[in-house]
Structure 1
Amino acid sequence: MHPAELSSATQDYLKTIWRLGEWEPERVTTTSLAARMGLAASTVSEALKKLTAQGLVTRPAYGVVELTEQGRAVAVHMVRRHRILEMFLATELGYTWDEVHDEAEVLEHAVTDRFIDGLDAKLGHPRTDPHGDTIPSPDGAVTPPPAVPLPDVAGPAHARVARVSDEDPETLRVLSRAGIGPGSVLRVSGERTDPGTVRVHVVPRAGQRGRGVVVDDAVREAAQDTDLGILVAEAVWVHRVDGPR
């Protein structure tokens, strides 16, 4: 089944179900799906009945939602479209990383596969989007890098940012002001001034403008220890490194 045979709403449901389980292997439920989509649980429940009848999802237990093989194929197809569009918006049109999501949400339903393949080629076949999330290959393969939420890193240690959740635009703006984005190296302190914060230091590196994350040299050079609120820190996924590189 090609996504074009389905409504935009159906495409969004399938994509959101897949994304809910992409980084955190927790069971997707009607409640969590409703919360992510900003809809009433009753509305989501009715939609899931239709998706089940179409063979796109299964309901193995009360409240639990799982994609069928066919449903996953559609979801990953839409995720690929979305993330390639985000990269195009960020690298070619100057959108910042907190702006690309909403624009891509609209465009992904309107463009053709040929258009997406053309963008992919023009961009040099990027492997990740502006937030560091893996762009699925044309055959649907997805291999996310090993990473853990920043608060799970016991300091003192150095960690490189692998990806940042794009769920909240304000969180992205906070992190941009702090000089934190995919590729940033952080020195994670073992100290916490407050149980609800994580203290990090952004290791200075050459300024860059790319993937919609704009942090100038002055910000990087002036970087000091920064206390990130726990909700902001949980949006940052990292892997440990031996030291600044």
Structure 2
Amino acid sequence: MAPLAGNPGADSASVQDYVKTIYALAEWHDEPVTSSRLAARLSVANSSVSEMIRKLSDLGLVHHKPYRPVELTADGRLLALAMVRRHRLLETFLVQDLGYRWDEVHDEAEQLEHTVSDVFIDRLDARLGYPATDPHGDPIPTSAGSITLPDAIPLVRFDDGHSGRVARISDEDPQLLRFLAAERIGIGSPLTVLRRMPFGRSVLACVDNDSDSDSGPREVVLGEELLSSIWAESTGQHANCSLGP
């Protein structure tokens, strides 16, 4: 791995997976990255996480003290962003050039990201036209290791009458992505939260895709999991979403 060529441990796929996961857990959330969160995300035992964190600490990739959250060092963040870059460019390639659906690409990219070279990734970036985001709206780091997140918040934080445009959708659950695709909700979709439902922590929202000539504005009920998985950039307070006369 070019960013840490002097650190042989960085060539390990498991090390790469761990630093990428630590970064991913903190990228869109303010919660501390704990061993239990890592274990749940990676579907491994807590003891396995503890052993790997000690290894990452020895490699100079994380800061960690017992019973405290895990934080990436500067080298750890550099390696994590290199892996994130690989993953998101590969996902973009699979969707744009190979016809994969956005719910199919995560596992494929997970396997490919450890096998391709930095030269391949740089050429793939150029081939794709230097995309800023992947199919789920996640920003793609530059080859220098910089990244800029959009000014977006989870839809669950939107007040009644608040409008926004979908900027990012979590790709953790393929079934959720398939549901949103069936509802024609994707990156760039305009959404207005109409009102909170009286039960189930769900909301009634209006979707108004400009290019969707089949149905125009339409109502959709979004449950708590969906509201927490969709990030949107605000386009205004108390906007109108016309559903007809």
User: Is the TM-score greater than 0.5?
Assistant: yes
Q: Taking structure 2 as the reference length, what is the TM-score of the superposition?
A: 0.90
Change (3 A) 1:146 1:159: same
Which letter does structure 1 place at the counterpart of 2:234? R
Q: The residue matched to 1:87 in structure 2 has which SS?
A: helix
**2: CA distance between counterparts of 1:119 and 1:244?**
42
Q: Does structure 1 retain, via aligned residues, the 8 Å contact 2:161–2:240?
A: no
Q: Does structure 2 retain, via aligned residues, the 8 Å contact 1:90–1:130?
A: yes
Q: The residue matched to 1:88 in structure 2 has which SS?
A: helix
Question: Which residue does 2:54 correspond to in 1?
Answer: 49
Q: Does structure 2 retain, via aligned residues, the 8 Å contact 1:185–1:244?
A: no
Q: The residue matched to 1:64 in structure 2 has which SS?
A: coil
1:230 Cα deviation after fit: 0.4
**1: CA distance between counterparts of 2:138 and 2:209?**
23
Q: The residue matched to 1:238 in structure 2 has which SS?
A: strand
Q: Does structure 1 retain, via aligned residues, the 8 Å contact 2:208–2:216?
A: no
Equivalent position to 2:118, from 113, 118, 133: 113
1:244 Cα deviation after fit: 8.4
Change (3 A) 1:176 1:13: same
Matched, 1:20 2:14: no
Q: The residue matched to 1:194 in structure 2 has which SS?
A: coil
Percent sequence identity over matched residues? 46
**1: CA distance between counterparts of 2:232 and 2:132?**
17
1:64 Cα deviation after fit: 1.4
**2: CA distance between counterparts of 1:33 and 1:58?**
15
Supply the RMSD in Å over aligned alpha carbons.
1.8
1:222 Cα deviation after fit: 6.2
**2: CA distance between counterparts of 1:163 and 1:132?**
4
1:164 Cα deviation after fit: 0.4
**1: CA distance between counterparts of 2:73 and 2:140?**
21
Equivalent position to 1:90, from 95, 99, 102: 95
Q: The residue matched to 2:135 in structure 1 has which SS?
A: coil
Question: Which residue does 1:238 correspond to in 2?
Answer: 232
**2: CA distance between counterparts of 1:6 and 1:13?**
12
| Per-residue deviation, residues 58-80 of structure 1 (Å, max 9, x unmatched) | 11451411111111110000000
Write the mapping of 1:1-245 to structure 2, written as runs, cut at 5 A. 1-2=4-5, 5-60=10-65, 62-207=67-212, 218=214, 221=215, 224-242=218-236
Which letter does structure 1 place at the counterpart of 2:93? F
Q: Does structure 1 retain, via aligned residues, the 8 Å contact 2:200–2:223?
A: no
| Per-residue deviation, residues 69-106 of structure 1 (Å, max 9, x unmatched) | 11111000000000000000011101111111110000
Higher relative contact order structure (alpha carbons within 8 Å, sequence separation ≥ 6): 1
Q: Taking structure 1 as the reference length, what is the TM-score of the superposition?
A: 0.90
Q: Please say which of residues 224-233 and 161-170 is displaced more in the overlay.
A: 224-233
Segments of structure 2 that go 5 or more residues without pairing to the other structure are none
**1: CA distance between counterparts of 2:151 and 2:185?**
18
1:6 Cα deviation after fit: 1.9
Which letter does structure 2 place at the counterpart of 1:45? S
Which letter does structure 2 place at the counterpart of 1:22? E
Which letter does structure 1 place at the counterpart of 2:112? L
Which letter does structure 1 place at the counterpart of 2:64? R
Q: Does structure 1 retain, via aligned residues, the 8 Å contact 2:87–2:113?
A: yes
Q: Please say which of residues 107-116 and 223-232 is displaced more in the overlay.
A: 223-232
Q: Does structure 1 retain, via aligned residues, the 8 Å contact 2:208–2:218?
A: no
1:195 Cα deviation after fit: 3.8
